[in-house]
Homo-oligomer: A and B are copies of this chain.
């Protein structure tokens, strides 16, 4: 793979070379755009003291994935760079096997997250889900009253609040009240997310 490794110093590390012998280190300065190379993945080193908000934005280009190699990859940083659009984040000195694993996942369009952080996310989310909503639309809809179910299905079918109000012969305000209750019970934030959950869209 002809990936590039973007760093503020032009020094190839041994684990990088072992993982991707064909890659090149490309220099960057803060704030500067770097011309994309041929590979699908743009590896970007984040040194201690460098802010991802300064480093990453110029690097995002269509059709390329960014993987961050962080010198100090604490959980908050990892989540931040992933939330900012990076497809993975691991330690600058990660083993070549790990870097290759990251490359495979990311090249296939996946996101790569370290195991320990992922387990934390899973544990936290499993506990949250265990206390409340499930994602399956059947059991999701079971949380709702009869009228709420009716409104939820209509939203999932693409209807606006006004259309729902007209069809059910109720006020638009009433539709909004039902939706607010639906959002609270299901843990979704808006009608688009509700539709995705009910329709089972995605995987």
Which of A62, A82, A110 neighbours the largest number of chain B CB atoms within 10 Å of its CB?
A110
Contact between B126 and A158, CB atoms less than 8 A apart? no
Contact between B62 and A146, CB atoms less than 8 A apart? yes
Q: Mask for A49-69, Cβ within 8 A of B = 1, else 0?
A: 000000011101011000000
Contact between B60 and A169, CB atoms less than 8 A apart? yes
How many residues on A have C-beta within 8 angstroms of the other chain's C-beta atoms?
76
- What's the nearest-Cβ distance from chain B to residue A38, in Å? 17
Contact between B105 and A101, CB atoms less than 8 A apart? yes
- What's the nearest-Cβ distance from chain B to residue A107, in Å? 9
- What's the nearest-Cβ distance from chain B to residue A28, in Å? 15
- How many copies, total? 2
List A residues 122-154 near B (Cβ within 8 Å): 122-132, 134-136, 139, 146-147, 150
Docked complex Cα distance between A129 and B117 (Å): 13
Q: Looking across the interface, which residue of chain B has its beta carbon closest to that of A97?
A: B108
Contact between B74 and A134, CB atoms less than 8 A apart? yes
Contact between A83 and B199, CB atoms less than 8 A apart? no
Q: Looking across the interface, which residue of chain B has its beta carbon closest to that of A149?
A: B62
Given that A97-B108, A101-B108, A119-B111 are contacting pairs, would A136 and B76 also be in contact in the complex, using a CB cutoff of 8 Å? yes
The list of the 10 closest CB pairs from A to B, nearest first, reads A75-B135, A199-B201, A83-B126, A85-B167, A57-B169, A76-B134, A116-B202, A121-B121, A109-B129, A74-B136
What would 6 A/B residue contacts be, using CB atoms closer than 8 Å? A82-B122, A84-B166, A101-B108, A116-B203, A157-B203, A158-B202
